[in-house]
Structure 1
Amino acid sequence: MPRFLRPLTQAVTYTRWLHLLIGSAIPLMGAFITPGLSTLSTAEWVQIALQPIPLVAAAALLLPFLRRAEGLQARLMLFPGQHARVRGGDEDSGISVAPSASWRERGRTALWAVLRLEAGFAAGFVTVQFLGTALALVGAASSDSRQEPGVLFPLPGPNPANALLVPVPVLVLLGIMVVAGRLMTSAARHLLGPSPKERLAALEERTEQLLERNRIARELHDSIGHALTVAVVQAGAARAAADPEFTTRALGAIEETGRAALEDLERVLRVLRTDGQPASRRPTLAEAAQLLDSARASGAKVDTEVTGPVERLPGPVTREAYRMLQEALTNVLRHAGPVPVQVRVTVHETALEIDVRNALSPGGENTGRGGSGLRGIRERATLLGGRATTGPREGEWQVHVELPLG
C-alpha cells in the first residue's frame, strides 16, 4: 500500500477526527440559542465560533479537574494504541492526567480548551461542507441541480460522469483530517504534557527503581554467589579429605550457608512482590561472625580483628559493609582457595574501615579482580560517599574499604 494512503487504514485517524468533532459540540449548542442555524451570514458564523470562548476558558481556569478529563480523552483518542496498527503505537503519549496544580497549568489547560473548541468548530464546518459537496455531486449526476445550499464549491452541470468525482471531496476531507489530527496531537503534547514538577517526580521515581534493581542484583550476586562458592569449596575439600568427620562438618557448613542464602532470596522476593508485605531485616556487620565461620569451615584460616562499636554503625553503612565483607571473602574462596585471610574492621570516629588480605593465587594475581563482585564493592562504597580499592599489594591481594559515618 502507498505510504500516503496508509493513514486511511489506521483507526487513530478516525479517533482523532472524532476528537475534533466532539470539540464542535459546544459552539453548535450555543448556535441553537443565538443566532440560530438558518441562513447564517459570515459575521454570524464568526459569532458562533467565538461566543463560547470566555465560558470555556473560565471553566478551565477555575476547575482543576478539567485538565485530567482533557488528558484522559487526549490519551484515548489522539494517540495510537494496539488497535491503531501503527508502529510504536504503545509508546508513552507524554500527556499528563493529573489535575492542574498551578495557575500556569490552568492557563495551559485553558489554551488547550480554546484551541480544541475552535479546531473542532472548523473541523465540523469543513466536514459538513465536503460531505455536502460529495452528496451534491451524486445529485448532479442524476438531476438538473447545479448548486446545493451550503456547498462551498460550484458544481458542474448535470452529467452522469459527475459520479466519478464523488470520491474527490471525500479523499480531500480525509487528508485534511489526517493533517489536523497530527497538529492537534502535537499541540496536546505541548499544552497537556507534564509540568516540570511532574517530570522531576517521574525522573526521581525512575531513578529510585533503577537503584533498587541494581541493589537487588548485587544482593543476589553476593548472597547466592557466596553460598555456591562455599558449597563448591566444601564439597571438593570433603571429597579430597575422605574423612567422615570432616565430611560431616562440611555438610553442616553447606547446610547453614544454603539456609542463609535462601533467607536472603526470600527477602529479595518480598521486595519484588506487590502484595505489600514488608521485607525481612537485612543482615548487618555485627552479624559477620557467620560469614567468618563459613569461610573457616571451607578451610580458610581467617584471622579477625574488630575495633570499635560495630553495633552502633548507621543502618545503611552496616548493611552495605556486611555485603562488602561477604563479597571479599567469596572472592578469596573462589579465586585463591582455602588460604590464610586477614580481616580487619575498624570503627573510627568519622569512618568505618574494612581491610581484607589474602595470599595471591599461583601466578601472582587473583583471576577475579575485574569481576562484577569487586566492581559491586566499589559501587556500594561510592553510593555511600566512600571509596574502595582492590588489587595486589606487597605480595597479597587486598580489598580495602573506607565508608564515612556522617
Structure 2
Amino acid sequence: MIKGIRPLLRGSTYSGMLFAYCGAVVSLPLLPFALLPLLAWRSAPEAVQTVLVLLVWAALIGSVGLARITRRALIASARRLLGVPLPDPVAARQPARSGADRWRTPLWLLLHVALGWTGALVSGVLFLSGLVLPGGWLGAEVGLSLFGRSVRVEGGWQSWVVALGCLLLAAVVCAVVTNALRWSAPRLLGPSSAERLALAAERELQLAERNRIAHELHDSIGHTLTATTIQAAVAGEVLSADPVAARAALRSIEESARAALEDLDYVLGVLREEKAETAPTRTLADLPELLDRLRHAGAVVEPELSGELAQVQGTLSRAAYRILQEGLTNALRHGAGGPIGVRVAAAEGGLELSVVNRTGAGTLTGAGSGAFPTSGHGLPGLAERVRLLHGEIDAGPHGPRHWRLAVRLPVRWSA
C-alpha cells in the first residue's frame, strides 16, 4: 500500500501537474478566435455550436504545434517539469520530416491541453470540495452545486471523511495526468525515426573523430616522450665531455616538446568541444625534422627517399608522416642499437614506407625490450589507419635479428 501512495508524495507528480495546467492556460488566448465561426452560424443548435467551437479550437492549437520553436519549447519544459530525458531536436541538418512525424507535435499539444483541462477541472473540483466540506463539522449540512447538480453532506465526522477522500482523489488525478504525459512525451516529442538516424550518424562521426584524435595523440605524444627521454639521457652523459652536443640535445628536446604541446592543445580543444586552433599539420615535408630529432637522440638513421613526395596529397601525406613516426618510435623503444633504415618511395603506383631496425634477443615477436613501457596499441592503431586508407601493412621479423614495418598506400597525385 505504501508503494501505491508513494507517487502521491513526490514533488515531481505535482510539478508534472503544473506542466499540464500550463497547457490549459496557454490555450486560452486561442479560445476567442474559436468563437468567431458562431457569429456566422447563430441559428445552429447549441450542441452543434459547442462541437464546432471545440473543433476550431483544436485546429488552432494543432496549428501552433507545427512551428519548430513550439516543439523546442515543449521539449525544454517537459524535461524540466516532467523529468523526461528528451534530446534536443536535430538542428540545421535535420532531415525532411514525413507526414506522420510532422503531426506528432500537434498531437502532443492537443493531448497536453486536453489532459490539462481535464486535470484542472476534476482536481480543482475535488480540491475545493475537500476544503469546503469540513465546514459542516458543527453539525450543519453542507451542499455543493455544480453544472446543475447538487450534493449535500451531513455535518460531523462524515464530512471530514468525504473531504479527505476528495483530497486523495485530487492527488490521484494529478498522478494519473502526470504519468499520462510522461508516457506520451518520449513517443510524441522524442526523436523520430529519421532524427534517430541523423543522431546516430552524427554520433558515429564524433566517435570517428575521437578515434582519429586518439591515434594522433598516441603517435605525436608517444614519439615525443620516447625521443626526449633518450635525448635527455644523451645530454646527461655528454654534458661534461661534449657541451656542444649536450646543448644540441637540449634544443632538440625543447623543439620536440613545443611541437607536442601544439598537438596537445589542439586535441584538448576538440575533446572539450571548443573551437580549437588550426590543427597542426605534420606531413612528409616535415620528415627531415623528425629524422634530425632522432639523430640528436643518438640514433643512426639511414634515409632513402625517392619520388615526388611533394605531389602526395595532404591527407595521405599526414597519414604517411604519422606511420613513419610510429615506426621510428618503436625502433627507438625496442631496437638494439645500430642504424635505422627509413625508406619512402612515391610513384604513381603507390606510396611505399618502411622502417627497418635491429632487434635484441627475445624482441623478434614485437614485444618490448623493457626499457620503455608500452600500451600495445601502436601496431593495431597503425593497421587501422592503413586499412582506412585502403593500404597494405606488414610488420614482423625481417632477416636475422631485424624488424621491419612495411606499408603500401594508394596514391592520388595532386593537381
Shift in Å, 1:71: 3.9
Query: Bigger CA drift: 239-248 or 370-379?
Result: 239-248
Distance in 2, matches of 1:397 and 1:165, equals 90
Distance in 2, matches of 1:142 and 1:351, equals 101
Verify: 1:56 aligned to 2:53, yes or no.
no
Question: How far apart are 1:69 and its partner, in Å?
Answer: 1.9
Pick one of 144, 147, 150 that aligns with 2:146. 150
The answer to whether structure 1 residue 256 and structure 2 residue 255 are counterparts is: yes
Q: Quick one: which of 105, 116, 122 aligns to 1:120? A: 116
Partner residue, 1:93:
86
Q: Aligned equivalents of 2:24 and 2:232: distance in 1?
A: 78
Alpha-carbon distance in structure 1 between the residues aligned to 2:130 and 2:30: 26
Alignment of 1:18-97 (within 5 A): 18-25=18-25, 26=27, 30=31, 51-58=53-60, 60-61=62-63, 64-65=66-67, 67-76=68-77, 78-80=78-80, 92-94=85-87, 96=89
Shift of 1:139: 3.3
Report 1:3-402 matches (<5 A): 3-25=3-25, 26=27, 30=31, 51-58=53-60, 60-61=62-63, 64-65=66-67, 67-76=68-77, 78-80=78-80, 92-94=85-87, 96=89, 102=97, 103-145=99-141, 147-150=143-146, 156-240=153-237, 243-244=241-242, 245-269=244-268, 271=270, 276=275, 278-365=277-364, 366-368=366-368, 371-395=376-400, 396-402=402-408
Q: Closer, same or farther in 2 for the Cα pair 1:9/1:389, shift >3 Å?
A: farther
| Cα gap change, 1:98 to 1:334, in 2 (>3 Å) | closer
Is the partner of 2:145 in helix, strand or coil? coil
Name 2:409's counterpart in structure 1: 403
Are the aligned partners of 1:30 and 1:48 in contact in 2 as well (CA < 8 Å)?
no
Sort the Cα spacing of 1:259 and 1:192 in 2 relative to 1 into closer, same or farther, 3 A: closer
Across the two proteins, how many residue pairs are aligned to each other? Answer: 389
Residues 94 and 189 in structure 1, CA contact (< 8 A), matched pair in contact too: no
The CA deviation at 1:314 is 1.8
SS of the equivalent of 1:253 reads helix
User: Which position in structure 2 is the counterpart of 1:40?
Assistant: none
CA separation in 2, counterparts of 1:367 and 1:27? 75
The superposition leaves residues 57-78 of structure 1 with CA deviations (integer Å, 9 ceiling, x where unpaired) of: 355347742x4324423432x3
Q: Is the partner of 1:357 in helix, strand or coil?
A: strand
CA contact (8 A) 1:224 1:261 kept: yes
Aligned residues: CA RMSD = 3.6
Corresponding residue of 1:38: none
Q: Check conservation: 1:57, 1:114, Cα contact below 8 A.
A: no
| TM superposition score normalised by structure 1 | 0.81
| CA apart distance, 1:266 | 3.9
CA distance in 2, matches of 1:401, 1:283: 18
Q: Which structure 1 residue ranges, 5 or more long, are not aligned? A: 35-42
Residue 61 of structure 2 contacts residue 110 of structure 2 at CA under 8 Å; is this kept in 1? no
**TM-score (ref. length: structure 2):** 0.79
Going from structure 1 to structure 2, the CA distance change for 1:377 and 1:29 (only over 3 Å counts) comes to closer
Question: Residues 137 and 155 of structure 1 are in contact (CA less than 8 Å); yes or no, is this contact kept in structure 2?
Answer: no
Q: 8 Å contact 2:394–2:405 — kept in the other structure?
A: yes
1:2 and 1:28, CA in 2 relative to 1: closer, same or farther beyond 3 A? farther
Shifted more, 212-221 versus 261-270: the winner is 261-270
Unaligned segments of structure 2, at least 5 residues:
37-44, 369-373
**Range that drifts further, 285-294 or 199-208:** 199-208
Cα deviation, residue 277, structure 1: 5.9
Q: Deviations for 1:165-209, whole angstroms, at most 9, x for unmatched residues?
A: 422222222123212212212212111222333323322332232
Aligned-partner Cα distance in 2 for 1:21–1:271: 43
Measure the CA separation in 2 of the matches of 1:285 and 1:168: 81
CA 1:118–1:50: 2 relative to 1, 3 Å: farther
- How far the C-alpha of 1:342 sits from its partner, in A, is 1.6
